[in-house]
Amino acid sequence: MSQPVPCHLSRPGVVCSLGDELDAISEALFTGQRGLEASDRYSPGILQTLGSVRSPLSDDSDWPTAHRSRNNRLLARALDGLAAPLSRLLETTPASRIGVVIGTSTSGIAETEIALATAGREGPLPESFDYARQELGAPARFIAERLGITGPCYALSTACSSSARALASARRLLRSGECDAVIAGGADSLCKLTVNGFASLDAVSPMPCLPFSRNRQGINLGEAAALFVVTPKTGGIQLAGIGESSDAHHISAPRPDGSGAREAMYQALAMAGLSPKAIDYLNLHGTATTLNDAMEAAAVHSLFATPPPASSTKALTGHTLGAAGALEAAFCWLALAHGRLPRHVYDGDYDPEIPALPLVDHSRAARPLRATLSNSFAFGGSNASLLLTRDDTDSEAS
């Protein structure tokens, strides 16, 4: 197997329903504290279980109109968490050699909803409305303009695999020589379109979700932003392998045999030069829908003779859609940095109709962690897996 190409992931900047400080987020991950709440904000009179961000966000009233959105306010908070690596980066690297790649699916659509509600069916849109806020490229443009970056700048929108693919794209930009560094990750914010759209698909659980339980009823939606500074240096925590596939089985349902998901995991292992038994922890896509969990369990068993300890952190944060790939990569970063495993929270009643997985419970002690794999599987069969490894020669990983 070929040697992996260096692709260093900085300490991440994160904001999600578990908070915006990595120490607090880590404690919630490792002890299994849910960040979910019941709310009727998006469907008055109908309570839904959501992973809403409750951290204070920046006031955007003095920002350019095109940048005023909750999505960008989430990104601004994640950028605050990247202050140290960003400061070093901007001091040492020409702006033209830094790229920005962001995964999203909502962008600024929530602000368009507000504008349409203000205008009504027939009235003109308010003067404050700016269509640019809802363009899919808006989050990447916001970061580039905020930091004065002039290198490659774009967004990816492949539903739930968006920000995992953004990190994969960052790795390619480094390897191709187009960039010396990339700010990569994703953001998605809750809005009526998303919450009610998933409800119309009968994909949403009214109660806290139960990934891999026989009693699972569907997903809980959430919002988040997660960002990394990605550089081609050795040591620390590395994005050692990426795997991507597109099985195009159905517009929303996964391929039942999990072959596309398996291919993504296999590619990530092959790129990293690792065998399945080298993986110490698997962050499952684990949406708690009937079809996804069955498919993913089958895919894992088709690749791993003995599956590694695994968990779905969506039971803690909700499914953050376009932000999920980067957010869960950040959770893997924290697992590697702390040598602890994120808990799997559900009712303990594993579905006997699907292959058994060794889900992380409160009694499972972490062994030394060197390699983690994180899955993101999206509508349309857009599959991505990210493989992170730890090298103790860099103090950032301690």
Q: What pLDDT digit, counting tens, does each position of 23-45 carry?
A: 999 999 999 999 999 999 998 88
In the predicted model, is pLDDT for residue 3 greater than 60? no
**20, 76 Cβ separation under 8 angstroms:** no
Closest CA to 199 of 24, 345, 27, 50: 50
Segment 271-281 shows an average pLDDT of 97
At position 301, the amino acid (one-letter code) is: H
**331, 311 Cβ separation under 8 angstroms:** no
In the predicted model, is pLDDT for residue 366 greater than 90? no
**CA separation (Å) from 275 to 304, 366, 373?**
9, 20, 12
d(CA 140, CA 193): 21
In the predicted model, is pLDDT for residue 108 greater than 80? yes
Provide CATH code, domain 11-397.
Answer: 3.40.47.10
The pLDDT of residue 189 is 97
Q: What pLDDT digit, counting tens, does each position of 372-389 carry?
A: 999 999 877 789 999 999
The pLDDT of residue 123 is 84
Strands (E), the chain: 8-9, 13-15, 37-39, 48-51, 98-103, 153-156, 181-188, 221-222, 224-231, 236-246, 281-283, 310-311, 371-378, 382-391
The pLDDT of residue 353 is 97
The pLDDT of residue 311 is 98
Q: 28 in helix, strand or coil?
A: helix
Mean pLDDT of all residues belonging to the chain: 93
Exposure string (b/e) for 256-295, b if CB count within 10 Å is 16 or more? eebbbbbbbbbbbbebbebebeebbbbbbbbbbbbebbbb
In the predicted model, is pLDDT for residue 394 greater than 60? no
Q: Which residues face 185 on adjacent strands?
A: 102, 227
The pLDDT of residue 233 is 96
Segment 120-125 shows an average pLDDT of 82
Q: What pLDDT digit, counting tens, does each position of 172-224 carry?
A: 999 999 999 999 999 999 999 999 999 988 889 999 999 999 999 999 999 99
Residues above pLDDT 70, as percent of the chain: 95
Q: What pLDDT digit, counting tens, does each position of 8-20 carry?
A: 999 999 999 999 9
In the predicted model, is pLDDT for residue 252 greater than 70? no
**362: confidence class by pLDDT, cuts 50, 70, 90:** confident
In the predicted model, is pLDDT for residue 352 greater than 90? yes
The pLDDT of residue 315 is 98
The pLDDT of residue 350 is 98
Find the Cα–Cα–Cα–Cα dihedral 51, 56, 57, 62, rounded to 10°.
Answer: 150
The pLDDT of residue 395 is 45
Catalytic residues: 160, 285, 319
In the predicted model, is pLDDT for residue 74 greater than 60? yes
d(CA 192, CA 371): 38
**1: confidence class by pLDDT, cuts 50, 70, 90:** very low
**103, 325 Cβ separation under 8 angstroms:** yes
d(CA 54, CA 68): 18
Residues above pLDDT 90, as percent of the chain: 83
d(CA 370, CA 358): 18
**4: confidence class by pLDDT, cuts 50, 70, 90:** low
> Which structure tokens are listed for 390?
């730890």
d(CA 138, CA 136): 6
> Which structure tokens are listed for 114?
């507000």
**354, 73 Cβ separation under 8 angstroms:** no
d(CA 10, CA 348): 35
In the predicted model, is pLDDT for residue 257 greater than 80? yes
Segment 251-273 shows an average pLDDT of 88
d(CA 162, CA 385): 11
**CA separation (Å) from 149 to 109, 186, 211, 322?**
25, 17, 40, 23
**How is the chain split into domains, by residue range?**
11-397
**223, 323 Cβ separation under 8 angstroms:** yes
The pLDDT of residue 280 is 96
123's torsion region: left (phi>0), alpha (psi -120 to 50) or beta?
Answer: beta
What are the two backbone dihedrals, phi and then psi, of residue 215, each rounded to the nearest 5 degrees?
-100, 10
The pLDDT of residue 397 is 47
d(CA 154, CA 60): 22
Closest CA to 74 of 230, 297, 224: 224
Q: What pLDDT digit, counting tens, does each position of 154-179 carry?
A: 999 998 999 999 999 999 999 999 99
The pLDDT of residue 398 is 37
